[in-house]
């Protein structure tokens, strides 16, 4: 609906408004949601990998092998959780639509009225002021320094000076001056609503986790087709060849084996865990009054290495209070009369900001003044000027440096000395100047200062520093996150506030001296941390300059003048008290305005990144070994050694379920770029170890001439034991909670292997004595190889920064010293070697005891369960042995407990066995020796207290 009505400066009448409402010419608009329900379902359900998984799921049902279709549950869960998550995000986005201004000012019948944006009608006269959004497309009628930012609509970041007859787009933000405009297009015809789909599109924040996971999925999609054909061909040949498999029915097993290989290659759980970690992180932050507009933003702040802070409303509470008026020489008599009247007018002017309004109590309006000429305040100029009918000359109030230039900071002038002295006390300063010459039309038109200005008063204002600011900045300093305080105030005032909150800074940098070149600007930002007299455009330039030097930048603020910088930053953080436009472009909103929540956000982000990195190694390890197994068994024409249901055991109990707990555990490790590289650098070699070990085992089993069910059972046992070991390795350093998780998964595995109903469902049989010995030896070799891979991964792959960070955290949290003396050092080394030896011995012996009693009649006997428990505690001893060398008190306590339990379990084997068991006797002897050595006085003095142990601090 476009306007053709001539402008009436008094606005519309009630009758005209009613006519337009009746004819539907209102600004009410019900936009389509950011994403339709169908598009969300389509995006989460109809994906390539879900297509593969559901197709495999359907095939197994059609061939009557529903028992092997358990993997489909993961795909269903992933799709459901993804849909629920996006529906919640969709709801939030609909509430954060572009047209979210809380009010609109219109002129009707010569009277200002406040209406909802949807109640604006065609031809309404809109009153535009700084900080507000334009509610409808309009044509400018009057302009007094009117500056509008249309960056959220047009992509043009520079505010535009608007003159009469210019167009203003709905959704644009007024950043300076004031004016009026007539609504020319409303409702669905307005610019913002016509492009609502683009304006409200969910713009994804940069996420290394999401990008890395997507990259892995893309790689798998390239190989899954050829590998599937290779495996199917091999399984058909093993089943008797193409000529016979279809007549004999062997094609069913060939299809099942192929599906087992393909589904194992897809890391569906990794996508699920990442989504859950983001969602839980956002939920936790919501309970701390932090609104996360985009879930990956939880990760984003953890990657930030520079935080740019706007002083007002961030370091200070944002409530400015008038302090005092300081007359300059020769102007004392002015204060009681003319100057006081002028100050009262500035305090009550229509476009007065919070600073000016704070003078209202000290200088109330007693005699209203008639304005002859006026240059409104602009955040870019930082001054306003006025000429009155009753008072001669012109009056200017603004920032001293912007009004009087270098004279306001020079020690050679009285003004400079006063401003400098007052600013160094942390007070904000403004100056009231007077010119004998009134404002001319040229001055008003060009928005320039009147000539021959003299300073009359220096006005000071006080801000209250947030009580939590110093503690929050100290946290960022400890975390090696750079701080840049950016403000439009006097640099000395900003520096004084910075010193008050604990920053070591001598003076602030005057932004008027910032270089024009981006490279030079970035160099200045690297050398200085406090900046004053910064314009909104400079704030944005400073953010982009820091980014050009490789920094990940967070920007906090609450004013509309911060919106450009917040939008340009990697992570924009807005206070809830800020303008709607600022909150609309921010990734995070502090609902209660508490700056102290930022460490919580950093902690949540670091927890997400560090835990998902740990979890990703589990899932990627499976993808690697599954892919290699599929290729090797296809090339070597071997029958795949697992049924899909058997892989579901190991996937669920060694990867999926524990990954859920590990992904949500506390973790304060600092972020270091290279998530995917570090994950793959462990997953690939460990996956190679698993694939080669299982291939080796398959050849050994075929050489022994065992049945196919025995071969599959042995392969499942190996993968379960090695999977638990990989879980324990990646969970290091173990704490009480992690021990419970690892132990619980092992217990569940033993339950699957021992409960008759579960054994029957998963087709688990007695592997026989010869195969039991062979698979035990192969499993021990694989466990040792995985330990070597993890050791090399820590030593060679982790960046120096990561290693240094780990060492710093370890030193800070252990508070221990190495064992004193050469003898103690030697004994400690012997203890570590014996601990590793015991772990290998106990694990192997436990597996043999367990499988040696693997008989339908005695599968749940004390011997079988004791053997399984011995293997578990052998793995746990291996997992905590490294902590002994570091002097961890908790490692020693855990190792003592594990060894004691292992002694008791081996005693059961010795006492209740039908013969003397030398394996159990040797295990008991080594365990007793270890306990004695660890608690001997020379060694015991080198261990830290349990409560201070690094084992209690979760790290990747």
CA 78, 79, 84 angle in degrees (round to 5)?
Answer: 100
Q: Which of 123, 310, 323, 562 is catalytic?
A: 310
Structure token digits, residue 472:
């929050």
Of 272, 283, 273, 309, the residue nearest 571 (C-alpha)? 309
Q: Measure the CA–CA gap between 596 and 608, rounded to whole angstroms.
A: 20
Q: Measure the CA–CA gap between 271 and 214, rounded to whole angstroms.
A: 9
Q: Which residues contact 186 (CB under 8 A, 6 or more apart)?
A: 1, 25, 26, 27, 120, 121, 122, 136, 137
Q: Which residues contact 861 (CB under 8 A, 6 or more apart)?
A: 853
Q: Measure the CA–CA gap between 123 and 132, rounded to whole angstroms.
A: 19
Burial class, 223, CB count within 10 angstroms (exposed 0-12 / middle 13-18 / buried 19+): middle
Place of tokens 């910032």: 514
Structure token digits, residue 316:
């200070």
Q: Which residues contact 904 (CB under 8 A, 6 or more apart)?
A: none
Burial class, 833, CB count within 10 angstroms (exposed 0-12 / middle 13-18 / buried 19+): exposed
Q: Measure the CA–CA gap between 899 and 897, rounded to whole angstroms.
A: 5
Of 170, 171, 954, 172, the residue nearest 160 (C-alpha)? 172
Q: Measure the CA–CA gap between 248 and 154, rounded to whole angstroms.
A: 68
Place of tokens 């029957």: 760
**Do β-strands 290-292 and 306-310 pair in parallel, antiparallel, or remain unpaired?**
unpaired
Query: 310: helix, coil or strand?
Result: strand
CA-CA-CA-CA torsion sign (262, 264, 270, 272): positive
Using alpha carbons, list the distances in angstroms from residue 473 to 309, 491, 808, 903. Answer: 10, 19, 20, 52
CA dihedral angle for residue 549, residue 553, residue 558, residue 563, rounded to 10 degrees: 60
Decide: 615 and 659 in contact? Cβ < 8 Å: yes
State CA 135 to chain mean position distance.
33
What is 382-404 written as a DSSP string?
A: -EEEEEESSS-SEEEEE-HHHHH
Active site residue 411: no
Question: Hey, how many other C-beta atoms are within 10 angstroms of the C-beta on 829?
Answer: 13
Strands of 735-819 (E only): list them.
none
**Do β-strands 571-575 and 553-557 pair in parallel, antiparallel, or remain unpaired?**
parallel
**Do β-strands 167-168 and 137-149 pair in parallel, antiparallel, or remain unpaired?**
antiparallel
Using alpha carbons, list the distances in angstroms from residue 313 to 176, 186, 466, 492, 860. Answer: 19, 35, 9, 18, 67
Q: Measure the CA–CA gap between 827 and 379, rounded to whole angstroms.
A: 71
Place of tokens 């099942």: 256
Q: Measure the CA–CA gap between 577 and 586, rounded to whole angstroms.
A: 13
Query: 5: helix, coil or strand?
Result: coil
- Helix 736-754 to helix 708-730 angle, to the nearest 10 degrees? 170
Question: Hey, how many other C-beta atoms are within 10 angstroms of the C-beta on 793?
Answer: 18
**What percent of the chain is helix, strand and coil (3-state, nearest 5)?**
60, 15, 30
Structure token digits, residue 61:
């049902």
Q: Measure the CA–CA gap between 175 and 539, rounded to whole angstroms.
A: 14
Active-site residue set: 310
């Amino acid at each position: 609906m476009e306007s053709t009505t001539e402008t009436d400066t008094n606005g519309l009448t009630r009758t005209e408004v009613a006519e337009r409402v009746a004819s539907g010419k209102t600004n009410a608009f019900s936009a389509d949601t950011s994403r339709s329900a169908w598009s969300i379902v389509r995006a989460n359900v109809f994906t390539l990998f879900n297509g593969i998984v559901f197709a495999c799921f359907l095939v197994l049902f059609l061939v009557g092998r529903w028992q092997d279709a358990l993997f489909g549950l993961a795909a269903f869960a992933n799709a459901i959780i993804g849909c629920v998550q996006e529906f919640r995000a969709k709801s939030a986005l609909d509430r954060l639509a572009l047209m979210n201004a809380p009010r609109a000012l219109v002129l009707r019948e010569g009277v200002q009225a406040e209406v909802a944006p949807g109640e604006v009608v065609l031809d309404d006269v809109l009153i535009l002021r700084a900080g507000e959004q334009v509610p409808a497309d309009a044509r400018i009628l009057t302009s007094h320094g009117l500056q509008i930012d249309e960056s959220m609509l047009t992509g043009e970041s520079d505010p535009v000076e608007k003159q009469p007859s210019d167009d203003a787009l709905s959704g644009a933000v007024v950043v300076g001056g004031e004016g009026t405009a007539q609504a020319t297009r409303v409702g669905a015809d307005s610019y913002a609503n016509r492009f609502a789909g683009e304006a409200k599109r969910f713009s994804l924040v940069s996420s290394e986790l999401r990008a890395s996971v997507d990259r892995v999925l893309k790689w798998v999609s390239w190989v899954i087709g050829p590998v599937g054909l290779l495996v199917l061909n091999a399984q058909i040949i093993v089943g008797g060849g193409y000529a016979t498999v279809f007549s004999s029915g062997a094609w069913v097993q060939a299809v099942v084996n192929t599906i087992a290989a393909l589904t194992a290659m897809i890391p569906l759980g990794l996508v699920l865990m990442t989504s859950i970690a983001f969602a839980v992180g956002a939920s936790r932050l919501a309970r701390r009054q932090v609104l996360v507009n985009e879930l990956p933003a939880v990760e984003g702040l953890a990657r930030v290495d520079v935080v740019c802070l706007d002083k007002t409303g961030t370091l200070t509470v944002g409530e400015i209070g008038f302090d005092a008026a300081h007359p300059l020489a020769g102007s004392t008599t002015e204060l009681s009369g003319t100057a006081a009247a002028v100050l009262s007018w500035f305090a009550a002017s229509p476009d007065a900001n919070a600073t000016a309004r704070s003078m209202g109590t000290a200088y109330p309006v007693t005699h209203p003044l008639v304005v002859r000429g006026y240059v409104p305040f602009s955040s870019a100029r930082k001054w306003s000027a006025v000429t009155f009918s009753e008072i001669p000359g012109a009056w200017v109030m603004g920032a001293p440096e912007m009004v009087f230039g270098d004279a306001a900071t020079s020690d050679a002038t009285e003004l400079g000395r006063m401003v400098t002295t007052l600013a160094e006390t942390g007070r904000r300063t403004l100056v009231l100047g007077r010119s004998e010459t009134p404002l001319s039309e040229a001055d008003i038109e060009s928005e320039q200062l009147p000539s021959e200005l003299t300073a009359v008063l220096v006005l000071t204002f006080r801000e209250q520093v947030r009580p939590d600011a110093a503690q929050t900045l100290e946290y960022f300093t400890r975390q090696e996150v750079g701080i840049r305080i950016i403000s439009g105030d006097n640099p000395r005032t900003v520096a004084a506030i910075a010193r008050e909150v604990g920053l070591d800074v001598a003076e602030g940098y005057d932004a008027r001296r910032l270089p024009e070149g981006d490279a030079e600007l970035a160099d200045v930002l690297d050398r200085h941390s406090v900046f004053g007299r910064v314009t909104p455009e400079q704030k944005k330039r400073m953010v982009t300059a820091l980014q050009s030097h490789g920094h990940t930048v967070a920007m906090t603020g609450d004013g509309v003048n911060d919106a450009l910088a917040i939008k340009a930053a990697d992570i924009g953080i807005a206070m809830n008290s800020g303008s709607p436009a600022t909150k609309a472009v921010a990734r995070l909103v502090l609902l209660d305005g508490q700056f102290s929540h930022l460490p919580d956000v950093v902690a949540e982000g670091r927890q997400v990144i560090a835990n998902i990195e740990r979890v990703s190694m589990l899932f990627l390890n499976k993808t690697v070994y599954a892919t290699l197994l599929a290729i090797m068994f296809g090339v070597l024409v071997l029958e795949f050694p697992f049924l899909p249901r058997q892989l579901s055991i190991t996937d669920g109990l060694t990867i999926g379920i524990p990954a859920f707990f590990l992904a949500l555990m506390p973790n304060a490790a600092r972020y270091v770029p290279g998530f995917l590289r570090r994950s793959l650098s462990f997953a690939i070699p460990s996956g190679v170890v698993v694939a080669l070990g299982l291939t080796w085992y398959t050849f050994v089993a075929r050489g022994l001439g065992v049945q196919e069910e025995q071969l599959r059972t042995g392969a499942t046992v190996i993968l379960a034991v090695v999977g638990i070991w990989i879980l324990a390795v990646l969970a290091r350093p173990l704490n009480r909670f992690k021990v419970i998780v690892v132990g619980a998964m092992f217990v569940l595995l033993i339950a699957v292997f021992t409960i008759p109903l579960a054994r029957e469902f998963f087709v688990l049989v007695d592997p026989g004595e010869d195969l039991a010995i062979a698979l035990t030896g192969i499993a021990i070799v694989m466990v040792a190889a995985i330990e070597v891979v993890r050791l090399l991964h820590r030593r060679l792959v982790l960046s120096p920064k990561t290693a240094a960070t780990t060492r710093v955290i370890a030193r800070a949290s252990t508070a221990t010293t190495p064992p004193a003396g050469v003898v103690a050092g030697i004994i400690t080394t012997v203890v570590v070697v014996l601990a590793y030896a015991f772990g290998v011995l106990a694990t192997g012996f436990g597996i043999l005891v367990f499988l040696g009693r693997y008989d339908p009649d005695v599968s749940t006997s004390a011997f079988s369960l004791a053997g399984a428990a011995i293997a578990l505690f052998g793995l746990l001893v291996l997992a905590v042995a490294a902590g002994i060398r570091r002097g961890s008190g908790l490692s020693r306590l855990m190792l003592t407990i594990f060894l004691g339990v292992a002694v008791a379990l081996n005693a059961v084997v010795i006492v209740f066995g039908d013969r003397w068991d030398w394996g159990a006797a040797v295990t008991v002897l080594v365990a007793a020796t270890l306990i004695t050595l660890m608690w001997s006085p020379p060694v015991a003095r080198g261990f830290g207290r349990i409560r201070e142990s690094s084992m209690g601090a979760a790290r990747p």
